[in-house]
Amino acid sequence: MTHQVALITGGAKGIGRAITLDLAAQRWRVAICYRTSEREAHETATAITERGGTPLAIRCDVSDPKACQALVQQVEQAWGQIDALIHCAGPYHRINLLEETPAGWAEMFDHNLHPIFYLSQAAAPGMKARKSGRIVTFSMANADQMVAQPEVTAHYIAKAGVLILTKTLAKLLAPHGITVNSVSPGFIDSGSAPPGELAGVVKRIPAGYVGEVKDTVAAVKFLLSDEARYVNGTNIHVSGGWGI
């Protein structure tokens, strides 16, 4: 039996973990990479094993282009190919723009935007050779609105850049049977935000409730499916109407 192979950045926690476990349940071989979440990565790998899968958890700083190249090579050497590249890594911090540091500013781009370029460039040759592949990026639900974001400025600009990069990759890779699409979550109960904070934003969500990780997983599953073979360069909002 030929298994499909996915490489998921940020696959140890939150939305990335949910996607990882869902694909593992569908008999995908899933490689996850993490930077600091060693305990969570081990727990996720154990969960994959318990579901009958074969886990591969790799520590990698995806802000380093050479490390990204080595990561892709390691997965391809282990399993022969990468059918899906899913970029879930995306840390953020809240700080007023006028109090932001150069290091904090650079960090948002180094971990949210640049890895998509590094990893996509590294994975593209194998996908092109097979005339098949899926790349899924993650932005945020209002990143296409170009509104002021005084407390998360660098993160917001990086996520807007993700949308431009996604469209560009889609146009370049479409002739080779590869699709590149973005998922843009709004407020999702992924465990990264305090419950009180999520409860406070419900009134701003037209749907009237906070989303669950399964809502985001469903969007990714669609983009990886054969039904989405002609969907390329798009951005799917998973936000209950927030941010549009």
Active site residue 156: yes
What is the structure's pLDDT at 72? 98
* Length of the chain (residues): 244
Residue 68 lies in a domain: yes
The domain tally of the chain equals 1
What is the structure's pLDDT at 194? 66
Residue 159 lies in a domain: yes
Residue 182 lies in a domain: yes
- Of 225, 198, 215, nearest to 83 by C-alpha is 225
> Of 92, 118, 156, 209, which residue is the catalytic one?
156
What is the structure's pLDDT at 53? 85
Query: Domain of 181?
Result: 5-236
Question: Quick one: CA dihedral 119, 111, 79, 15, positive or negative?
Answer: negative
What is the structure's pLDDT at 156? 97
What is the structure's pLDDT at 195? 65
Helix (H, G, I), strand (E, B) or coil at 207: coil
Please identify every stretch of the chain with a pLDDT value under 70, giving residue numbers as ranges. Answer: 1-2, 193-195
- Of 86, 93, 87, 88, nearest to 108 by C-alpha is 93
Residue 42 lies in a domain: yes
Residue 157 lies in a domain: yes
Residue 244 lies in a domain: no
Domain with residue 206: its CATH number is 3.40.50.720
Helices vs strands, H then E, count in the chain: 8, 9
What is the structure's pLDDT at 197? 75
What is the structure's pLDDT at 191? 78
Residue 168 lies in a domain: yes
Residue 241 lies in a domain: no
